[in-house]
Amino acid sequence: MSGRTGIVEGWVSNVKSVGRIAFIEVIDGLQLSPITVVVKREQVDPETWTVATGVKIGSALRVEGVFPEVVISRKGREIQATKITVLAEPLELPPIDLTGKTPASFDLYIEYRYLALRLPRFRAIFLARSKLIGFAREYLSEQGFLEINTPKIVGAGAEGGATLFALDYFGMKAYLSQSPQLYKQMLMCGVPRVFEITPYFRAEKFSTPRHLNESWGLDVEMAFINSEEDVMKVLEDFVRGAIRYLRSEMGDDLRANGLELLEEPASIPRVPYSRAIEILNSMGFSIQWGDDLDTQAEKALGEYFQRQGYPMYFITQYPWDAKPFYIMKEGERLSKAFDLDISGIEVASGGQREHRYAELIANLRAKGLNPAEFSFYTQAFKYGMPPHGGFGLGLDRLLMTLLGLSNIREVVLFPRDRFRLVP
């Protein structure tokens, strides 16, 4: 044998013997296709040959051998074994087919996610997730944003709503954070640009393919802005850059596993809320000004813009009454808020915030909230708070829409919804 010596460690995904040669496919590292372990009877000791021909699918192996200069395996990678060590083998039949030939149910793939990660499609999804998060950090750091970590046990909700998980905090009422909104705004008094990759907790009884009770998001806030358009430009550049990055890093691998990455748009149009209502009502909906756009309306709007050649779009100038207290008003009825929708699914929302102390207090009262309960937050607005804005983006939803998947649980390792608390 000629070539470079080395070691491969991983799990057996397939075994086949042909005469005096055994072939063992092993999923190793973060590879999306197995490496073929070639074992020739005349080139190994009897013990190694016995191991090679009797190894069980699912076993964890260490293979010592030579990487040949000429590879004959159709999988593209090969090692010619000189020694094989079985580190662990399954004690019972795996609940999902580790060869990938027989599909399992959706729920089984979630319940046994740790096994499903040996299959190329699932590896591809979560490798893409990791790369997306890595790109977010790199992009925002290069744009002068400081990565922060805010509390996840809080004394007040970001939106003052009832969708909070309550807990006892040494005799005091506390909640799991639904958003770092208030904290990232407070930091605008001392740092001009921040971001956080963070979990969100929502105590709503969701039963949809796009909602979870624990999800992960990217929160961004930036000061010294002229309008919400400054924020939208950062978000647009990030999303387009993320698509380019994923396509360059693993576009071929995604396609090979049945995952078609969304095309990068040349631009993302801005659509005023009033115009969105006009479009929907022309399609047979009956939406009054000020109404929320429900799932069916969002889907229909997404299909409309898809036909126009726009898979993603911003909805702008929402009614202020429909937005949280911290959003700045535009005139008497409108707000400086926006949503980003991709394929008819809201993946981000943001806008310019109210940075003026007196107006912020008035906003709290207008929403029926007690300013005293938010004094820890409003205090920061007394000390030279500049105009600022930001957005919160659902990383789970973003990846789901970019990969064309239909259920958010496909991109979350261990989903938490109203029916899942384990594993």
Pairwise CA distance, residues 227 & 336, whole Å: 8
210 has binding-site annotation: yes
> 349 an active-site residue?
yes
284 is in an annotated binding site: no
Please indicate if the annotation marks 349 as binding a ligand: yes
Annotated active-site residue in 47, 204, 278, 303: 204
Rounded (10°) CA dihedral 221, 225, 231, 236:
-130
Is there a catalytic annotation at residue 244?
no
Query: Which among 346, 354, 355, 388 is annotated as catalytic?
Result: 346
Residue 397 annotated among the catalytic residues of the structure: yes
Select which of 228, 349, 354, 355 is catalytic.
349
Please enumerate in sequence order all residues whose Cβ is within 8 A of that of 19, keeping only pairs 6 or more positions apart, or say none.
none
Catalytic residue list contains 202: yes
Distances (CA, A) of 343 to 251, 305, 397: 20, 9, 11
Q: Is 353 annotated as a binding residue?
A: yes
204 catalytic, yes or no? yes
The catalytically annotated residue of 121, 137, 202, 420 is 202
Active-site residue identified among 210, 355, 388, 409:
210
What is the torsional sign of CA 197, 198, 199, 202? negative
Beta strands in 123-223 (DSSP E): 146-147, 153-154, 166-169, 172-176, 193-201, 214-223
At 18, list the tokens: 């042909």
Catalytic member of 33, 397, 409, 410? 397
Whether residue 394 is annotated as binding a ligand: the answer is yes
What is the C-alpha to C-alpha distance for residues 300 and 298, in angstroms, rounded to an integer?
6
Looking up tokens 């300013």 gives: 371
| Residue 205 φ/ψ, nearest 5 degrees | -85, 70
Residue 275 is a catalytic residue = no
3-state class (DSSP) for residue 246? helix
Task: Give the N- to C-terminal CA distance of the chain in Å, as an integer.
Answer: 46
244 is in an annotated binding site: no
Find out whether 211 is annotated in a ligand binding site. Answer: yes
Would you say 121 is a known binding-site residue?
Answer: no
For residues 95 and 112, is the Cβ–Cβ distance under 8 A? yes
Instruction: Judge whether 210 counts as a catalytic residue.
Output: yes
Q: Is residue 212 marked as binding? A: yes
| Strand order across the beta sheet in which 312-316 lies | 146-147, 193-201, 214-223, 388-394, 345-352, 337-342, 312-316, 270-272
CA dihedral 93, 94, 97, 102 (to 10 degrees): 70
| Beta-ladder partners of 78 | 36
Query: How many residues are recorded in the chain?
Result: 423
CA nearest to 313, candidates 265, 278, 355: 265
The one-letter amino acid code at 258 reads: G
247 is in an annotated binding site: no
Q: At what angle do helices 228-256 and 395-402 cross, to 10 degrees?
A: 50
Binding site per annotation, positions for L-aspartate? 159, 202, 349, 353
Active-site residues, by number, are 202, 204, 210-211, 346, 349, 397
Binding site per annotation, positions for ATP? 202-204, 210-212, 346, 394-397
Binding site per annotation, positions for Mg(2+)? 346, 349
Binding site per annotation, positions? 159, 202-204, 210-212, 346, 349, 353, 394-397
